[in-house]
A and B are shown apart, each in its own frame.
Chain A
Amino acid sequence: MTYAVLETMMVQVIDMTGGEGVMLDPQVLLDTLGVAMATGGEFAEVFVEDRRSTSALLDDSRIEELTSGRDRGAGIRVVVGDTTGFAHTADLSPVGLRAAAGAASAAARSGGSGVRVVALDAVSGPASAVVEILPSDVPKARKVALLDRADDAARSCDGAITQVTARYADSQRRIQIANSDGLLTGDRQIRTLFSVSCVASGDSGLQTGRESVGHTIGFELFDRVDVEDLAGLAAGRALTKLDAVPAPSGQMPVVVGPGGGGVLFHEACGHGLEADLIAKAASVFAGRRGDVVAAPMVSLVDDGTMAGEWGRYAIDDEGRPAQHNVLIRDGVLTDFMWDRLRARREGRESSGNGRRQSYRHLPMVRMTNTYLEAGGDDPAEILAGTEQGVYVAQLGGGQVNTATGDFVFGMTEAYLIEGGRLTAPIRDGNLIGNGPAALLDIDGIAGDFAMGSPGTCGKDGQGVPVGDGTPTLRVAKLTVGGTAA
């Protein structure tokens, strides 16, 4: 069967992308899939993306720039045996799509027979998130005005604040996915972000403080948060650290404040529970489903359905609806996270974790919003019960080697714990631990759950937005990487 035969097939498609219509005509998608499968293959997919973004930057008390961006294109993959061929193009004309489909097909080195006819079946997937105020409907002047307010607020905190950077960013991402299983679906994803970074200057040199807020909602974000409050938090962190002492060095108990610990779990076990790494035995958690991998009060969830959260979406970048996935229940490893390719090999369904940075990238297993469920301990008692250690109020990023389980994460607001009380602020640094050991060393989880700051998770050179959350928790033993004797 040839591409010409496929072209004669027509399908009825219902509009399912929130009233904005499908992005490409279904017949064009069908043609493209036909070219992709023309010489055989098990699976082909067309992923179409159209992203518009706005960002505004204030630095040195000046609005330095307002940037508008537009990216649109399609990524086409063809799977033949164990081989995936992939090509992408910014040319969304039928000619451009056919060329990319041909390239992806050739790349998959299609040898086999078994050409299949494809009929697209529009799926009524979960609805796109409802946004009250579309950022594209908001005048640019209103976006820019937020930056000046943040600058004024941060600088008025204290004369020691010597520099302020504030950034506003929004994006609208529309995606459409059609594949050779007949799936046709789409989503519209809106994100709005605001961040403030401050430098404080004192006798001890320069110190920095940062605060950011980001949600999968529109401009109504600023009805809910005050940029002045964010600026005050950022400035306060920088000012506090002017009096910071060097962080201690060595193994000790570490208490992480509410909303602060998500990065710890993201690195300590989140990446290690991604099925692509499991399949390559490149994770210390490979083969450990059903085992006790954490202290009994630990229940860890990855949930792409959390309304408004930074890692939220209706469908993943393979068209699969987002899910609430329990990874660890009462200390027992219940399941990994899956994308389509890895799930198909195991004869199971994807868990809705197939994501990609853009149409220029292949999807792979990624986290969404990863959080530790609240426990029953009292946060004050966790602190009071810690004789000597470190309290981390805000974490920076982290990194993990999933094969060894060794992970680091940074602290950007932290204090010494002495005699069960917070004492001096400490300077920035990393902590290091081993994932499987750290999960078993958790000996306190409080009930004060909070989500943390919006993050970007990097893997194989692709960045995707993720969220995280934790209540106050204590790890009995982690290595704090400071310089104090």
Chain B
Amino acid sequence: MLEIAERIVGWSDPGEQVEAVVVHERETEVRAYEGEVESLTVAESRGVGVRIIRDGRQGFAYAGTLDPDALGEVMREARDNLGFATPDEHCSLAEPDGLAPVGMDLYRDALLDLPIDAKVQMALDLERLTLSADGRISGVESAEYSDSVSSSAVATTTGIRSTSRETGCFLSAYALAESDGETQTGFGFSLGRQPGDLDVEAAAAEAAERSTRMLGAVKPPSGRMTVVFDPWVSAQFLGIVGGTLSGEAVQKGRSMFADRLGDDVASPLLTLIDDPTDPAAFTATETDGEGLATRRNVLLANGRLERFVHNSETARRAGTVSTGSAVRGYSSTPGVGVRAVAVVPGDRSPADLVSGIRDGLLIQGVSGLHSGVNAVSGDFSTGAEGIRIRDGELAEPVREFTIASTIQKMLTDVTAIGDDLQWLPMRAAGVTLVIAELTVSGV
């Protein structure tokens, strides 16, 4: 892999900066349905992306293959494309910054050694256990085992040489619960780097619990209410908050936090850290999309906005250094983004937090984040489902309503943080969060 990247870099002309990113991924996916294997996919993908910069102009091309003829074509296209870009003094490849990658063990041979039959068995077990978890489970829409073994390499004419490899596996079940002609759904999952990390029983039980507890759900009244986000929900919002702190969004006038560095923008309870070097994060990685070492970045400290994240280009524009936050696949140029955002957890259990709320809602699922969150203005409004909280106890389930506020207000409205930090298959960890007030739109 690195050898291919280096070969491409070797084709550079004088005056050119060349960067090659090479990616290789192997995946297996098994879906079980009604005690049979519904589908089994075995796949292998390769790809290459080439960036060429000359006189501040950048050209890019990619191909989903490593065939020798394709490599030459990609090189030619990237070189041709740069002629159409607007010159920019900050446009340049990353330079080695002397920071060594944090050694993490993200690759497990145990996953490679696992026979297909064992993967199939896990998917079948997951479906069976979900079905038998509760008499009201009427079906399992999907029960799936998937894994991936990925490796990538980056080489540049500026001296970057980086490689990384990771394994990951994932179980997910989507349960259907039925009672009195009404159907509700619930999702359960388990994830890890090797099969031994997976907990089939827990994933099945979670899917069953989340679906059955929604049976009999009603539409809640409209009004302003205290809301508790469960970890699955808080992680989705924290990922969006992390996105607003991208140096690119800030420089291009698309972040509501652009002028707020050093200000108190959130509740003093909130300390938010992006740390891709934490091996517990499913999205952990040793190097970023430009081949620089990833690092721990404190974004919010006790509510104060500490920093934005940067790749090498946005860092140069801001007069600072990259935070190792270039994100990309082989088919795109490096963007800027957080990878593994987590809040520092509190010391109270979720049940303890709920017990202190007289009238509120526990939110277990949100929908329409892509259509209902405006990450530029900060307005958000999403579909939601969950459980009503009455006098400190979980009461009736509720559905078909929205919760709305602004990202800015929500951050200052955080009044408590749980002790249940949990890494999820997304760019943020979840933790139970209590938000003092959101607008609930229901009946």
Are B372's CB and A429's CB within 8 A?
yes
Contact present for B185 and A65 (CB under 8 Å): no
Complex Cα–Cα for A141 and B81 (A): 10
B70 touches A70 (CB 8 A): yes
**B441 and A432 contact, CB distance less than 8 A:** yes
Does chain B have a CB within 8 A of A87? yes
B33 at the interface (CB under 8 A from A): yes
A73 touches B401 (CB 8 A): no
* Interface: B121 (CB within 8 A): no
Q: B334-377 vs A: 1/0 string, CB under 8 Å?
A: 00000000000000000000000000000000011011101011
Query: Smallest CB–CB gap between A275 and chain B, Å?
Result: 14
* Chain A positions 43-74 with a Cβ under 8 Å from a chain B Cβ: 56, 59-73
Roughly how many angstroms separate A398 CA and B381 CA in the complex, as a whole number? 12
A73 to B176, CA, bound (A): 36
Q: Is the CB of A362 within 8 A of B39?
A: yes
Q: Which of A59, A247, A432, A480 contacts B383 (CB 8 A)?
A: A432
Contacts A66-B81, A71-B64, A410-B368 given; indicate if A81 touches B36 (C-beta within 8 A): yes
Q: Does A464 contact B (CB under 8 A)?
A: no
At the interface, yes or no: B3 with Cβ under 8 Å from chain A?
no
Chain A residues with CB under 8 A of B400: 406, 432-434, 479
Whether the pair B60, A66 counts as a contact (CB closer than 8 A) is yes
The CA-CA distance from A406 to B253 in the complex, in Å, is: 35
| Tally of contact residues, A, Cβ under 8 A | 83
List B residues 68-90 near A (Cβ within 8 Å): 70, 73-74, 77-78, 80-82, 84-86, 88
Contact across chains for A86 and B39 when beta carbons are under 8 A apart: yes
1/0 contact string of B132-176 vs chain A (CB within 8 Å): 000000110100000000000000000000000000000000001
Interface string of B42-79 (1 = CB under 8 A from A): 11111000000000001111111111001001100110
Tell me whether A396 is interfacial, beta carbon within 8 Å. yes
- Give the shortest distance, in Å, between A97 (CB) and chain B (any CB): 13
Bound CA–CA A433/B442 (angstroms)? 10
A residues less than 8 Å from B45 (CB atoms): 88, 90, 360
With A430-B372, A432-B401: A70-B63 Cβ-Cβ less than 8 Å: yes
Q: Note all chain B residues with C-beta closer than 8 A to A66.
A: 59-60, 81-82, 84-85
**In whole Å, how far is B41's beta carbon from the nearest beta carbon of chain A?**
4
A163 beta carbon closer than 8 Å to chain B: yes
User: Which among A141, A397, A407, A431 is the interface contact of B84 at CB below 8 angstroms?
Assistant: A141
A408 touches B371 (CB 8 A): yes
Which residues from 356 to 380 on chain A have a C-beta closer than 8 Å to any C-beta of chain B?
A: 360, 362
Closest A-chain residue to B443, C-beta based?
A251
Cross-chain contact B370 with A397 (CB below 8 angstroms): yes
Knowing A64-B58, A73-B65, the reply to whether A83 touches B372 (Cβ < 8 A) is no
B40, B77, B116: residue with the most chain A Cβ atoms closer than 10 Å: B40
Q: Determine whether B269 belongs to the interface, using a CB cutoff of 8 Å to chain A.
A: no
- Closest partner residue, chain A, to B184 (CB atom): A404
- Distance, CA A434 to CA B367, complexed state (A): 13
Q: How far is the CA of A204 from the CA of B65 in the complex (A)?
A: 48
Per the bound structure, the CA–CA distance linking A412 and B380 in Å amounts to 12
Q: Of A72, A86, A199, which contacts B40 at CB under 8 A?
A: A86
Q: Which residues of B contact A281 (CB under 8 A)?
A: 138-139, 176, 183
Interface contact B185-A404, CB-CB below 8 Å:
yes
Is the CB–CB distance between A73 and B42 below 8 Å? no
One of A83, A162, A399 near B368 (C-beta < 8 A): A399
Extra pairs beyond A70-B74, A140-B80 (5, CB < 8 Å): A87-B41, A250-B443, A396-B372, A397-B370, A406-B400
Chain B: residues with CB nearer than 8 A to chain A?
33-34, 36-46, 58-67, 70, 73-74, 77-78, 80-82, 84-86, 88, 116, 138-139, 141, 176, 183-185, 219, 222, 224, 251-254, 256, 331-333, 367-368, 370-372, 374, 376-383, 385, 399-406, 439-443
6 tightest A-B contacts by CB?
A481-B402, A410-B371, A429-B381, A408-B368, A430-B372, A408-B383
17 contacts between A and B (CB under 8 A): A67-B61, A69-B331, A70-B63, A86-B42, A106-B116, A140-B84, A141-B84, A199-B254, A284-B183, A403-B176, A406-B399, A408-B383, A408-B402, A410-B372, A430-B402, A432-B401, A434-B400
